[in-house]
Structure 1
Amino acid sequence: MMDSRTGVEILSSLERSDHTAFVDGNVLYVWGGCQSVSGSEIMLPSDEIWLCDLESGAWERRGIEGEPPPALSGACGSYHNGSLYVFGGCDPNGHTNQLYSASLLDGCYTWKRVKDAQGNTPSPRDKHTCWVHRDRLIYFGGYGCKTIREVNNSKSFAVDETSWATIGTVSFRFWGWNNEVHVFDPSTVTWSEPETHGLGPAPRASHASATLRDKGYICGGLEDTALDIHCLDLDTWTWTQIDLLSSLVPVGRSMHTLTPVSDHTLFLFGGLSISGNPLNDGWEFNVQTKTWSEMNHRHHDKPRLWHSACPGKDQDVVVFGGSQEYVLLMDSLTVLRSPSQKHCKDVLVFQTQPYPLLRLCEDCIGRHADVLQVQLSWLPPKLQETIDKRVFYFRTLQENRKLEELILD
């Protein structure tokens, strides 16, 4: 884990990218993803989930029983009402449109494949995103395949002209990007595709999205020099392209994250620039003033792409994993991602607001526990548990510092 004030790393679970993560209370949950093993890139097991106590930095692995999804890349994971939902992605046989849910509330974690849903299931896709709003899962965009009839009937699909050369082994299929909006209602187990209004964004994948009250925002995922940003009203289904009121705009990118940090602010971090460079910049977007402002942070030595980012305690942004580099292998027909990416296993905490006095006191006690041994016994039981975790956290930081010094020596 990385503390934003000290800039020191605590090693966490296995390194990974392309995973799903969410924060519930003071616990970070991490599922799936890929990592490099002996020069090969492998997908991590779908029947386990990792939990990180954000107060202590301690990790725990939990198994998930039931009917787990296959190993997936590019799937979209969302957390809603105590359940993890995973839709789409690529399994060993190609693009899928399967939906799975895992209940995480009762302590007996169990996967279930969602079958017999009403309505029209979206076509197979990966690298899409999801907004959670009013007990619904609202999916946007992605890259996938459609039949000729589906392409002819769609105004929301951009055909990948290189697809026949790279993955055109199945007849009567087109691959490409979409800007479709699909809604899944878990309570009725129903798919629907609302009719949207206004000028929608261009079809895309590997973009970032975030939900802010009754609005869904997306940005990036295109080969543009500047980052675009669009808003969908999730009640009226009306699209708005946000016209920025300042010339200060982040560079275009993909594989980045967008996270809500207040009622009117979104935080953007990292990604891959259109020139192929991993990015380490952080930005805040004010939806009221329609302006971007670059954020000064402690993690400029930690470029990230293909990572996850979640809202945390006290308006923190909790970033986990991802890759530090992106290497492309070229041949006469295809562009392939190198199987030797440097995947990360640290947690970066971005502080976006001043901390409340209680948290400052807890951290201060945790840092100086050695000189406050007598006073620690005076604390009430309810506070003692939190302080014990902070003491463990800062002691681990100190131990890692010593270990790093020994390695350097």
Structure 2
Amino acid sequence: MASSGLAYPDRFYAAAAYAGFGAGGATSSAAISRFQNDVALLLYGLHQQATVGPCNVPKPRAWNPVEQSKWTSWHGLGSMPSAEAMRLFVKILEEEDPGWYSRVPEFNSEPVVDIQMHPKEEPQIVPASTNGTSISEPKIISENGSSVETQDKDVILEGLSTVSSLDEWTPLSISGHHPKPRYEHGATVLQDKMYIFGGNHNGRYLSDLQALDLKSLTWSKIDAKLQAESSDSAKTSQIAPCAGHSLITWGHKFFSIAGHTKDPSEGITVKEFDPHTCTWSIVRTYGKSPVSRGGQTVTLVGTTLVLFGGEDAKRCLLNDLHILDLETMTWDDVDAIGTPPSPRSDHAAACHTDRYLLIFGGGSHATCFNDLHVLDLQTMEWSRPKQQGLTPSPRAGHAGATVGENWYIVGGGNNKSGVSETLVLNMSTLTWSVVSTVEGRVPLASEGMTLVHSSYNGYDYLISFGGYNGRYSNEVYTLKLSLKSDSKSTTKEETVSDTTSRVAEPEVETSQDGKIREIAMDSADSDLKNSTDEASEQLLAALKAEKDELEATLNREQLQTVQLKEDIAQAESRNVELTKELQAVRGQLAAEQSRCFKLEVDVAELRQKLQSMDALEKEVELLRRQRAASEQAALDAKQRQSSGGMWGWLVGTPPDDKSES
């Protein structure tokens, strides 16, 4: 949203004046000409919702399409809070006309308005005096025309005190330069400030550090530097961008642990930020550092940090367990007994009574989980406890925060859509319940958002920031939690006690002459009443025992159903993974079959060549024999010829002269 320098509701009234909405929500010709009919009707409905409240005006009976459309636009907003209607009004106006504020006359001098509602008439807007940030309650006009004044006290609202709705998510109107929209960032609360560090925006890792003052609701960017390892304090540099890391407050500082980076190191990096010096420093740790990763959970347990799961730089999912002692800064690789959670990332973790580590949800490359695992940090044993209440839907990328024994879970996704309900788990009874549900495509139904807890003026607040649900968000929402029921239960007990004591007292009545006389009950009536009470008590005890037995049976059946659903989900998950492996094996077999067929063809060709070579060898052998026989015959003939000539020479017979014959 554009920064106009105005705070709600002033920004809304400036936008309404610019849009042409006059008293009673009347739409001027300027608004009609400036916007399309559907946009003008939507702005009208939001204006009425913001200034008057939910539509209680009866639907127009006369056939008038304009009034019908205006009533439908207003009535369709239901019970939307006034602050949300103001925010949407300004947002739609800025989307339709981004430069509207530069064309608005100076608005600070204009009076703020109060609302008066006349029955069976259009709502009217009349000027009211203002004084700084004080808010005066409006005057309500009754049906007979007389005015009924409400409280006329000025109430100074600041920070989170401006949130009035309990157990309902409310967008905060925040001044200052808003951080860039992001998800997979880190968030923590330190000294009434919520710090935001890093994250992912459009595939790029961020390294900026932002602070939201929870008292003034103002954003500010912190120019933080990285202190070099050298002893020379003047040597500083920028911190490396990262996403999927964890921010943990410890004392007057906070740590940033792990996270994905452009150039990942072999082991996890631990960084420390000091708000007094606005300086980051790399913490030197000892022991075997866990492999670098992102999407893990880091939980503060006493003086230690418990790290579980995540995804390394090679996209390999992890389910290992490591503990960092913050006093000695030493890593310890833990081998717990029992069945650990399956490898996962983007899950949530919490600690209960500094002994039990709870792991919920998360995702693998193929599926999302809704299982709950508990690690006993004393015995180092994993378990799958029985859960009560509703069964949470599978999700990954959700955020969690603990308030006392309650663990709140917000957002996340399931590969199809964002999760809209806000859950709470009572960690003592392991009972799930729904706190609030949002409608529409809002940042609260996102992945990669952050959730922190802060206390202000006796109330507990949950504060969410960022996330991704198709678009990146930089909006801040808060949930004001209900007060604890201790005082209410005490009051109820006192009331019951007082009522019992009053019933036990003798009944008295005042006679006409003003005398007070005691009405004593007859002993027979008293005995009858006592016997009736005993029979009633026995009947109630029997009914209560039967009810308890039925509830126990129902709880067992529900737990069995939940267990069966979890077993089915795990079986389906295993089936999906086995199917993928089977497909991969089939692909390999097909490749091997093709290779074998090719080899068979090559073997057949070689056999044919070998047969041809055998025939050639036989022919060569035959020729060799023929040649040898010819050579032997020639040699024999030569020997005979040479032998006859020698004997003739010895006996004196000259050789024949063929030439003479």
TM-score > 0.5 by shorter chain: yes
* Deviation for aligned residue 1:299: 6.9
- Contact (CA 8 Å) 1:299, 1:348: kept in 2 or not? no
| Residue 319, structure 1, aligned to residue 487, structure 2 | no
* Deviation for aligned residue 1:185: 1.8
* CA shift in 2, pair 1:95/1:250, >3 Å: farther
What is residue 84 of structure 1 aligned with on the other side? 254
What is residue 266 of structure 1 aligned with on the other side? 407
Letter in 2 for 1:271: G
What is residue 331 of structure 1 aligned with on the other side? none
| Residue 44, structure 1, aligned to residue 214, structure 2 | no
What is residue 371 of structure 1 aligned with on the other side? none
Rounded to whole Å, the distance in 2 between the matches of 1:4 and 1:228 is 35
Percent of aligned positions that are identical: 22
| Structure with bigger gyration radius | 2
* Deviation for aligned residue 1:301: 5.2
* CA shift in 2, pair 1:204/1:92, >3 Å: same
* CA shift in 2, pair 1:182/1:280, >3 Å: same
Pairwise mapping of residues 2-151 of structure 1 onto structure 2 (< 5 A)?
Answer: 3=163, 5=165, 7-11=170-174, 13-14=178-179, 15-36=181-202, 41-45=203-207, 48-65=208-225, 66-67=227-228, 69-94=239-264, 96-105=266-275, 107-115=276-284, 117-144=285-312
What is residue 346 of structure 1 aligned with on the other side? 475
What is residue 230 of structure 1 aligned with on the other side? 373
Rounded to whole Å, the distance in 1 between the matches of 2:239 and 2:266 is 11
Partner deviation per Cα, 1:263-318 (whole Å, 9 max, x = no partner): x2111111011x32122210111122222111125676522210000111133211
**What secondary structure sits across from 1:315 in the alignment?**
strand
What is residue 284 of structure 1 aligned with on the other side? 424
Rounded to whole Å, the distance in 2 between the matches of 1:282 and 1:187 is 36
- Contact (CA 8 Å) 2:368, 2:396: kept in 1 or not? no
* Deviation for aligned residue 1:355: 8.5
Rounded to whole Å, the distance in 2 between the matches of 1:346 and 1:299 is 16
Letter in 2 for 1:126: G
Specify which structure has the bigger relative contact order, considering alpha-carbon pairs within 8 angstroms and separated by 6 or more residues: 1
- Contact (CA 8 Å) 1:267, 1:283: kept in 2 or not? yes
> How much is the aligned-residue C-alpha RMSD, in angstroms?
2.6
Q: Which structure shows the higher strand fraction?
A: 1
Partner deviation per Cα, 1:60-116 (whole Å, 9 max, x = no partner): 1112222454211222332222332223222213465332322325x102222223x
Pairwise mapping of residues 162-311 of structure 1 onto structure 2 (< 5 A)?
Answer: 175-214=315-354, 215-222=356-363, 227-246=370-389, 248-262=390-404, 264-273=405-414, 275-296=415-436, 302=442, 303-311=445-453
Rounded to whole Å, the distance in 2 between the matches of 1:203 and 1:226 is 11
* CA shift in 2, pair 1:306/1:112, >3 Å: same
Q: Which structure shows the higher helix fraction?
A: 2
* Deviation for aligned residue 1:256: 0.2
Rounded to whole Å, the distance in 2 between the matches of 1:224 and 1:316 is 32
- Contact (CA 8 Å) 1:10, 1:57: kept in 2 or not? yes
Letter in 2 for 1:44: L
**What secondary structure sits across from 1:250 in the alignment?**
coil
**What secondary structure sits across from 2:391 in the alignment?**
coil
Letter in 2 for 1:84: F
Q: TM-score, normalised by structure 1?
A: 0.67
Rounded to whole Å, the distance in 2 between the matches of 1:355 and 1:52 is 27
Partner deviation per Cα, 1:40-79 (whole Å, 9 max, x = no partner): x32222xx42111112211111122224542112223322
